[in-house]
Structure 1
């Protein structure tokens, strides 16, 4: 349920109208033998401007990305939520590969990218068990993810709206790897210094395992951010503007 609300927050209620491709995103020719090279170069050049946000296309500012609330742990053993969240570092993304293929009326977009460092700050509430230990608390949280690698895949299919063809997302997938992660939760156990110190040590020694437990929810957040950018363009820009003849 939360992810649906986050998606609405980021991309707004879809409004279909014919818009030109933003001048900071250059189109490519679908029949160009160097299509992938064209798409990669144009996308890489557009990232700094996309990161600034664009209300006309419902693109959120990514410098930083502000999110009202994120639920990272919703299992039977752990409830972890963050509110008033800032995600810092997205504009530093290094696009490594980008490919576009077309087959059986499906446009497939694949890409890989690396973010040197993501910093997530917010107010947390946690209750339950983290791996094997009980945990509770609320207060400021600081999560650092170093050397974050993403692979994404989107399938899009043309659909006609108001006599124009637009690309509609029909399938998506994202994979994520993190080289190193740290968690800092202040005011654990209602400020009990002894219990907090023990938990801080446990979290530091098991940070990768804790990340793996939270990873599905983190991927959903990243997926929603990526979709906000993709749909911000494809919901409003017709196919013949995205790929010129």
Structure 2
């Protein structure tokens, strides 16, 4: 579940960066852009720095959310459900996830290639605190495990790399951008979790399993990483497309 909750919070920051990066490239709209949007042009020779600056400038607004751009509040980030599997023997479901610390994200790398409609960037999250409800059944680190109840986790030095690919489509006679693929890769520096009520509340056995997970935290996260990365990629792709599907290409990515 650590991987679960941690992934959830990381998803929030990635979503914000992608969606706001797209918004930052908008040069005009049917109505004036909000004053907090730092505008970037498609042909700006320093577009990478411009988009990064745009996201940094809009950070304070992420705390309460930006409904006009379909960006929810990320402090805390709330997610209904995320499911992760570690091979055929493990299934973990997290519900009512709340992640704190997402607004502290920073973009450490930004690469925008408008000719190829490709966006690549790196993101850092110094600290995340997660609370959620979990259900788990299967084996973790070869240990049989089952239970459901509250979970909490602390994670530090989270890093991720994101690659977003777009293409142009014609809709009602106008050209739009649509994102067709997103690839997310993440790394967690250190972390700890606690799953309450394992094995129906058998405390000695539950504590033993929690201790085993935390003693082998890196291996535990790595076991869940592939399914978490796929889930993040799918969720972030949907959020990014909500932004770019709202306006024609010449509005979102103006030439001048």
| Pair 1:151-2:161 in alignment | yes
SS in 2 for 1:199: helix
Could you tell me which of 140, 143, 146 is aligned with 1:136? Answer: 146
Could you tell me which of 43, 60, 65 is aligned with 2:72? Answer: 60
1:180-232, Cα deviation, whole Å (9 max, x unpaired): 12121011111112212221221121111011111123223433453354223
In the alignment, which residue of structure 2 is the partner of 1:202? 212
In the alignment, which residue of structure 2 is the partner of 1:96? 108
Name structure 2 gaps, 5 residues minimum: 1-14, 16-28
CA distance, structure 2, for counterparts of residue 134 and residue 48 of structure 1: 44
User: TM-score with structure 2 length normalisation?
Assistant: 0.80
In the alignment, which residue of structure 2 is the partner of 1:235? 245
In the alignment, which residue of structure 1 is the partner of 2:85? 73
Q: Structure 1 residue 148: deviation in Å?
A: 0.7
SS in 2 for 1:30: coil
In the alignment, which residue of structure 2 is the partner of 1:182? 192
- More off after superposition, 24-33 vs 136-145: 24-33
1:58-117, Cα deviation, whole Å (9 max, x unpaired): 2222111211111122642112111111122211101112121133xx311111110011
Q: Structure 1 residue 143: deviation in Å?
A: 2.3
Pair 1:185–1:226, CA change in 2 (3 A) = same
SS in 2 for 1:29: coil
Aligned length: 228
For the aligned residue pairs, the C-alpha RMSD in angstroms reads 2.3
User: TM-score with structure 1 length normalisation?
Assistant: 0.84
Q: Structure 1 residue 22: deviation in Å?
A: 4.6
CA distance, structure 2, for counterparts of residue 45 and residue 134 of structure 1: 47
CA distance, structure 2, for counterparts of residue 21 and residue 81 of structure 1: 43
- More off after superposition, 22-31 vs 192-201: 22-31
Contact 1:29 1:35 in 2 (8 A): yes
CA distance, structure 2, for counterparts of residue 225 and residue 62 of structure 1: 15
Name structure 1 gaps, 5 residues minimum: 1-9, 11-17
Structure with higher strand content: 1
